[in-house]
Chains A and B, each alone.
Chain A
């Protein structure tokens, strides 16, 4: 059987696509994991808005980390966030209330329904890890079913994952996803430096090792070697 390359979509993160053979596989599910303040939500927002600039539909599910109301208020500081996209090219959906009372199957059905309505090419669930901590049912099975459904809806999905001290990435989700990207804050003397590492990207000859990143008002998260 001849090799068949699959399509990719640009991440929207300056410098990242060069690390992953041009972009995320399409469709795929990518986990972006990091501690508080590492830039996960900014990363995810840029992913959606970069797609919107290309005419691609985005759908952002927020869970129980930060209500959309406040998340958008902070996001407004970034130049890449264009309010004219809100409610059209970038649609926000808050899962917080549903998560307090639903089963895994009900949550999957709700996400299914919303994705079918919007038909996005890019999806964000921010963060996914809080879902695991609230789930009564088996989280591993949920992770499998979720990633299967999201890919069958023909979209590239970015899941953000909170990591706890000493944890590198959320383990249960890392097995189910196609890619794992780490955003790290490193305590180096008087400063905390930020890094990105592509730990896993199925079907991709990706760059390994930590790369320095910065967060700017203009572009959000950027891989620093992209500046040169």
Chain B
């Protein structure tokens, strides 16, 4: 499954948004697959913004499932409000988060100037994943979220010419308005079935043939293997 998802994250020139539709019960799994695809399959450097749970959970999952985190930076927007005692590496906290999300893009840029306690150099970032974008609705109005995306896109345009790929996973059926808004911003949308296989790909709203058809049609296999995370693959 990692290769299948990786094959649709083609990384066109310039910054772009990929929107993935998956059932809400699979969001964590899909995020894990995305991270593996970007970090290992494509050897990119990335930023993970956590809103739904403190970053230690994803970090733990990555460690357990053998996903190298060396080239991943976390920004945690929820820890301050989570009262969670789970241990792990400390990550920079977005102090305003998860509220006032429209201020996050400038927070990211401000912390690349060397003048604060931590640094995120956005010019070295190839991808961004948010866990998960639907949760923003719990803490922000739809208008705030739109302002966030508008500012986020402006910021990304100014960062680097190679571009930053932003991958967002959400359940279209749970949050239709937000999905449709992001769909309008995204270059590519990818539909994942309950079985976590890629069911459809649209580029700028137009359905395209699924790439690497033999890979996508191959049944998931039990146990470990080069293709994917053992626990996520099942006959």
1/0 contact string of A130-161 vs chain B (CB within 8 Å): 00000000000000110011001110000000
A154 and B52 contact, Cβ closer than 8 Å, known pairs A116-B60, A148-B84: yes
User: Which one of B113-121, B135-143, B147-155 contacts A?
Assistant: B135-143
Establish whether residues B84 and A149, one from each chain, have CB atoms under 8 Å apart when the complex forms.
yes
A2: interface (CB < 8 Å): yes
A149 and B86 contact, Cβ closer than 8 Å, known pairs A7-B171, A154-B53: yes
Establish whether residues A88 and B234, one from each chain, have CB atoms under 8 Å apart when the complex forms.
yes
- The interface size of chain B toward A, counting residues with CB under 8 Å, comes to 32
A145 to B84 Cα, complex, angstroms: 7
Within 8 A of A (CB), among B160-200: 171, 174-175, 194-195
Q: Which residues of B contact A7 (CB under 8 A)?
A: 24-25, 171, 174
| A interface residue count range (under 10 / 10 to 19 / 20 to 34 / 35 or more) | 20 to 34
1/0 contact string of B48-81 vs chain A (CB within 8 Å): 0000111001001100100000000000000000
- A23: min CB distance to chain B, Å: 11
Establish whether residues A152 and B57, one from each chain, have CB atoms under 8 Å apart when the complex forms.
yes
A102: interface (CB < 8 Å): no
A121: interface (CB < 8 Å): yes
- A143: min CB distance to chain B, Å: 13
B90: interface (CB < 8 Å): no
A119: interface (CB < 8 Å): yes
1/0 contact string of A181-224 vs chain B (CB within 8 Å): 00000000000000000000000000000000000000000000
- A96: min CB distance to chain B, Å: 24
A118: interface (CB < 8 Å): yes
Most chain B CB within a 10 A radius of its CB, from A9, A117, A119, A153:
A119
B85: interface (CB < 8 Å): yes
B83: interface (CB < 8 Å): yes
Other-chain contact of B53, A88, A117, A121, A152 (Cβ < 8 Å):
A152
A154 to B57 Cα, complex, angstroms: 10
Q: Which residues of A contact B194 (CB under 8 A)?
A: 54-55
Q: Majority SS of interface residues in chain A?
A: loop
- B97: min CB distance to chain A, Å: 15
B214: interface (CB < 8 Å): no
Q: Which residues of A contact B86 (CB under 8 A)?
A: 112, 149, 152
Closest to B99 in A: A1
Q: Which residues of A contact B25 (CB under 8 A)?
A: 7, 9, 26, 56, 121, 154
Establish whether residues A116 and B64, one from each chain, have CB atoms under 8 Å apart when the complex forms.
yes
Closest to B234 in A: A88
B231: interface (CB < 8 Å): yes
A61 to B57 Cα, complex, angstroms: 20
A4: interface (CB < 8 Å): yes
- A228: min CB distance to chain B, Å: 30
- A90: min CB distance to chain B, Å: 12
Closest to A54 in B: B194
B29: interface (CB < 8 Å): yes
- A203: min CB distance to chain B, Å: 11
Establish whether residues A4 and B137, one from each chain, have CB atoms under 8 Å apart when the complex forms.
yes
A153 to B32 Cα, complex, angstroms: 13
A119 and B53 contact, Cβ closer than 8 Å, known pairs A88-B234, A152-B84: no
Q: Which residues of B contact A65 (CB under 8 A)?
A: none
Other-chain contact of A148, B24, B28, B83 (Cβ < 8 Å):
B83
Told that A88-B234, A119-B32, A152-B82 touch, could you supply 9 new A-B pairs with CB distance under 8 A? A2-B141, A2-B142, A7-B171, A119-B29, A148-B83, A148-B85, A149-B86, A153-B28, A153-B57
Residues of B at under 8 Å CB distance from A? 24-29, 32, 52-54, 57, 60-61, 64, 82-86, 137-138, 140-142, 171, 174-175, 194-195, 231-232, 234
**What are 21 A-B contacts defined by CB distance under 8 Å?**
A1-B140, A2-B137, A2-B141, A9-B25, A88-B234, A89-B234, A116-B61, A117-B64, A117-B231, A118-B231, A119-B32, A121-B26, A144-B83, A145-B84, A148-B82, A148-B84, A149-B86, A152-B57, A153-B53, A154-B28, A154-B52
User: 3 closest Cβ contacts across the A-B interface?
Assistant: A152-B53, A7-B24, A121-B25
